[in-house]
Amino acid sequence: VNAARYAIGVDLGGQSAKLGVVDAEGIVHVRRQEPIDAAQSADALARGIVQQIGELQKEASRCELTIVGIGVVMPGYMDEAREKLLFAANLPTLSGSSFLADIRKQVRLPIRFDADCNGAAFGELHFGAGRNVERLIVVTVGTGIGGSVVIGGEILRINHHISGSLGHIIVDAKGERCTCGARGCLETKASGRAIERIGGMSGEEIGRAIVAGDADALRVVRECGWWLGAGIASWCAIYMPQRMVIGGGIAALGEHYFEAARAGLREVGQPHLTSTVEIVPAALGPDAGMIGAAAMALSV
Ligand SMILES: [Zn+2]
């Protein structure tokens, strides 16, 4: 019998749920991914997740892996006790629902819920590009921008269990209205949504265009990367990070985006606060949230 401890990590997004059986070293042993229909009721979504967890438990027991807990990360604001989701932008039927309490009732193992940005940060902190960094910010740039601040190995939880709404700092106060209701948010300038608005292409399309040598595509990615750097300058003024770990689909566009972000930070930021800040790609890729969720369950 295998005496090692394993946890199930679940990364629940607006389009899919990613689940894995993960060990204490962050290695994924069993995985599955299921599409999510965000229009479903909170009840139906909870039943679906519980069923997926059950399937994974069965698979783990067939492999003689001992599951000691479950970690679930998802977008949204949770209440203090993590029983209630106050607001979930990508899963609107869950806002104000008892989704978390319903899942907790239906699974037989200890379960821990957290924000998806915290899952990614916890994963990168323990197994990825954020190891041994005292003041760290882990940011995911996809359709939107989210992130968590880690100080001394602990996620900074200011309210609703998040470090703040990092993608919605204002970088261009006379700029475009953001989906959040504010104006000129970093998310309107540096995210996948911004790339789509400015370049008329999705992140994936623009990635292919760059490989094909499309100068306009490259210009759009550099522009968005530069604004990310400008946003990082503000995060530096508030949190004074030593390292910025950037992941997500847009970060996967690669060095052009990162170089532009470094240039933006140099041009915009206060030199004293920003000159030694490293901007590095995330190491765990799209698994960061799932691995982090499992690691949180194992760390209890
Ligand atoms: Zn916003």
Task: Render 67-104 in DSSP notation, one character per residue.
Answer: EEEEEEEESSEE-TTSS-EEE-TTSGGGTTS-HHHHHH
Residue whose pair of structure tokens reads 């003689």 in the numeric block? 64
The CA distances from residue 300 to 2, 20, 151, in Å, are 20, 18, 19
Ion ligand 1: residues, CB < 5 A: 168, 178, 180, 182, 185
pLDDT for 3: 62
- 198 Cα to the center of ligand 1, angstroms: 17
pLDDT for 1: 43
- 145 Cα to the center of ligand 1, angstroms: 9
* CA 274/CA 281 separation, integer angstroms: 17
Residue pLDDT tens, the chain, 300 long: 456 899 999 999 988 999 999 999 999 999 999 999 999 999 999 999 999 999 999 999 999 999 999 999 999 899 999 888 998 878 999 999 999 999 999 999 999 999 999 999 999 999 999 999 999 999 999 989 999 999 999 999 999 999 999 999 999 999 999 988 999 999 999 999 999 999 999 989 999 999 999 999 999 999 999 999 999 999 999 999 999 999 999 988 989 999 999 999 999 999 999 999 999 999 999 999 999 999 999 997
Per-position b or e across 236-268, b if 16+ CB within 10 A of its CB: beebebebbbbbbbbbbbeebbbbbbbebbeeb
Contact call for residues 118 and 155 (beta carbons, < 8 A)? yes
Bridge partner list, 111: 70
- 184 Cα to the center of ligand 1, angstroms: 7
Query: Which amino acid type is present at position 198?
Result: I
* CA 107/CA 278 separation, integer angstroms: 41
* CA 153/CA 177 separation, integer angstroms: 35
- 114 Cα to the center of ligand 1, angstroms: 21
pTM confidence score: 0.94
- 50 Cα to the center of ligand 1, angstroms: 32
The CA distances from residue 63 to 4, 82, 93, 163, 263, in Å, are 12, 31, 36, 38, 49
- 143 Cα to the center of ligand 1, angstroms: 12
